């Protein structure tokens, strides 16, 4: 099966996790690494007034965050890139929760930063179609050779639309996405093994319901939230899907995949057997699911591969239930004996240069400078003893506040050429990522490896799907509503309701999107010949 498979599931906007760095003032030059040729792109400073290069940065609204234009990281950038290139790098904050809306407004007004970005490929595809962004092949060839070498041909293909390089994808080093977790202490108390397939999981959930090993008020065997939020159904659907041709698999919606109906029917049975959070469909923020997990009521759940280890979950759970122990498991086995699951594509953020930019050359030089290992390491980890410590050859972030604070894992809002830890070696990357969860490092590493086993990625269409642009939002909303309705309906109503909802989905644009997918897919295959 092609590496780049498409699954039209409601997509969670998930990021690779890690600890944000924090604290201490780092204004002094002695707190910065010595400048070397590796951290600079120019040996002679150009003369004349400096050029202002504008760069987008997410404002995540983190409590206590420093000035997003004046902190340890921005000063390093201006010292080591700005000065040698007679430039001032000015960051343009954009609220993370409104990034596409804000970007659309700036693009329409020709006021978007010289370096803009989004995680939404469809948005970049639309800008490319209306000729709103610059083609980058010539600029990359002239000013971005280090960047091209770092990203590699495969990653760069994700920024190609209609055969042209229109965006620069960041390299994603952490590919795990969704994981499943179970209370090992509950299994031990009941003398049960770790479930390795759906039937074993069902029997385990029944035991959790009937025997309540945690002795809690309102035990919840499987913690779930409304569709589209964290706490989903993991790779359950994949374990039911039957064989399809590659073309059918990547072009058709999940609703038409053989076996998909049975996967929803299984969830419907679990719900009616009182094995799933009773009011999950009302939990549209996942706050209730978080509370249920941290109060020790939940025996099993599926969420981000690292969710059980994150500070907002692991610490209150430990305080409330000191003996609680969630472990990662693979339990949704298909007929081939595989645990198929979606993983992230090798690309992350999409970086582009608006047509309105007057500083395209400088923008590519900036990204090329950032691809240097020395630069990336400092932006992700800062100075030894101040921003990080090294344990067994692996850097570990030192929690701080103030100027040294990182507003995102591995400072990814400032390291636009990479998503995730970058130590030049994937095994080291995984260990460094796992080290972000003190006391749970081994379990986190195990979870990462489980949740990249038998993985497949989304198929990348190199041409905009006009039908998806037109109907995508409506279909995404319908996906969520359909799933929730089918899980909670009466078992006797399930078959007829499934067929009715799928007919409505296809009529509302699903058929048009699928037909356009087929056309684009076939054209792409023909171009390979």
pLDDT at res. 8? 34
Residue 331: half-sphere exposure toward Cβ, Cα within 13 Å:
23
- Spatial CB neighbours of 65, under 8 Å, sequence gap ≥ 6: 405, 407
- Among 519, 526, 514, CA closest to 471: 514
- Reported for 314-317, long-range contacts at CB under 8 A and 24+ positions apart, including other chains, are 314/437, 314/440, 317/293
CA dihedral 460, 179, 95, 63 (to 10 degrees): -160
pLDDT at res. 308? 95
472, 56 Cβ separation under 8 angstroms: no
pLDDT at res. 44? 54
pLDDT at res. 399? 76
- b (16+ CB within 10 A) / e for 450-476: bbbebbbbbbbbbbbbebbbebeeebe
CA dihedral 62, 64, 67, 73 (to 10 degrees): -80
- Among 79, 59, 80, CA closest to 68: 59
Which H/E stretch holds residue 169? strand 168-172
Residue appearing with tokens 């693979």: 330
- Reported for 197-201, long-range contacts at CB under 8 A and 24+ positions apart, including other chains, are 197/331, 197/332, 197/333, 198/236, 198/239, 198/266, 198/331, 198/332, 198/333, 200/331, 201/300, 201/331, 201/332
d(CA 405, CA 408): 9
DSSP state of 146: H
pLDDT at res. 428? 93
One DSSP character per residue, 189-245 reads HHT-PPP-SHHHHHHHHHHHHHH-TT--TT-EEEE--SBTBSSB-TTHHHHH-----
Helix (H, G, I), strand (E, B) or coil at 434: helix
- Give pLDDT tens digits along the chain (529 positions): 443 333 333 333 333 333 233 333 333 333 333 334 444 444 455 678 999 999 999 998 887 889 999 999 999 999 999 999 999 999 999 998 889 999 999 999 999 999 999 998 888 988 998 999 999 999 999 999 999 999 999 999 999 988 899 999 999 999 999 999 999 999 999 999 999 999 999 999 999 999 999 999 999 999 999 988 889 999 999 999 999 999 999 999 999 999 999 999 999 999 999 999 999 999 998 999 999 999 999 999 999 999 999 988 999 999 999 999 999 999 999 999 999 999 999 999 999 999 999 999 999 999 999 999 999 999 999 999 999 999 989 998 887 788 999 888 789 999 999 999 999 999 999 999 998 888 999 999 999 999 999 999 999 888 888 898 889 889 999 999 999 999 999 999 999 999 999 999 999 999 999 999 999 999 999 988 7
pLDDT at res. 46? 66
- Spatial CB neighbours of 51, under 8 Å, sequence gap ≥ 6: 85, 86, 87, 88, 359, 362
Residue appearing with tokens 């010292």: 79
The pair of structure tokens assigned to 296 is 């020790």
């Amino acid at each position: 099966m092609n590496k780049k498979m498409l699954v039209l599931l409601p997509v969670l906007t998930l990021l690779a996790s890690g600890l944000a760095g924090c604290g201490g003032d780092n204004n002094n030059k002695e707190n910065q690494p010595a400048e070397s040729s590796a951290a600079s792109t120019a040996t002679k400073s150009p003369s004349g007034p400096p050029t202002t290069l504008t760069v987008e940065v997410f404002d995540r609204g983190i409590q206590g965050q420093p000035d997003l234009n004046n902190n340890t990281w921005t000063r390093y950038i201006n010292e080591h890139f700005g000065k040698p290139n007679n430039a001032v790098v000015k960051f343009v904050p954009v609220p993370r929760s409104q990034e596409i809306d804000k970007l659309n407004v700036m693009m329409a007004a020709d006021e978007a930063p010289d370096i803009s970005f989004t995680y939404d490929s469809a948005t970049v595809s639309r800008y490319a179609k209306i000729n709103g962004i610059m083609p980058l092949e010539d600029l990359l060839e002239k000013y971005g050779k280090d960047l091209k070498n770092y990203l590699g041909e495969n990653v760069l293909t994700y920024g190609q639309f209609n055969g042209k390089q229109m965006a620069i994808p960041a390299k994603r080093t952490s590919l795990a996405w969704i994981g499943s977790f179970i209370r090992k202490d509950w299994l031990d108390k009941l003398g049960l093994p770790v479930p390795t397939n759906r039937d074993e999981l069902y029997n385990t959930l029944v035991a959790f319901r009937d025997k309540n090993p945690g002795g809690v008020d309102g035990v919840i065997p499987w913690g779930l939230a409304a569709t589209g939020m964290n706490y989903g159904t993991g790779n359950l659907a994949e374990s039911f899907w039957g064989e399809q041709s590659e073309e059918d698999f990547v072009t058709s919606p999940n609703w038409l995949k053989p076996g998909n109906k049975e996967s929803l029917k299984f969830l419907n049975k679990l719900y009616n057997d009182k094995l799933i959070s009773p009011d999950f469909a009302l939990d549209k923020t996942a706050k209730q699911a978080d509370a249920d997990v941290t109060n020790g009521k939940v025996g099993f759940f599926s969420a981000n591969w690292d969710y059980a280890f994150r500070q907002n979950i692991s610490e209150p759970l430990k305080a409330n239930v000191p003996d609680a122990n969630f472990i990662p498991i693979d339990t949704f086995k298909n007929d081939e004996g595989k645990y198929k699951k979606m993983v992230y594509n090798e690309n992350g953020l999409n970086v582009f240069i608006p047509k309105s930019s007057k500083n395209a050359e400088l923008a590519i030089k900036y990204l090329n400078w950032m691809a240097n290992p020395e630069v990336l390491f400092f932006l992700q980890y800062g100075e030894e003893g101040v921003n990080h410590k090294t344990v067994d050859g692996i850097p570990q972030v030192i929690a701080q506040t103030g100027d040294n604070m990182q507003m995102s894992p591995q400072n990814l809002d400032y390291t636009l050429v990479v998503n995730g830890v970058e130590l030049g070696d994937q095994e080291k990357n995984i260990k460094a990522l796992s080290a972000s969860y003190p006391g749970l490092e081994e379990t986190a590493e195990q979870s990462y490896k489980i949740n990249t086993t038998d993985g497949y990625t989304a198929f990348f269409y190199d041409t905009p799907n006009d039908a998806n642009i037109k109907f995508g939002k409506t279909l995404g909303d319908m996906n969520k509503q359909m799933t929730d309705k089918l899980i909670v309906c009466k078992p006797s109503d399930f078959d007829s309701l499934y067929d009715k909802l799928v007919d409505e989905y296809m009529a509302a644009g699903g058929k048009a999107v699928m037909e356009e997918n087929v056309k684009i897919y076939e054209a792409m295959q023909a171009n390979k010949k």
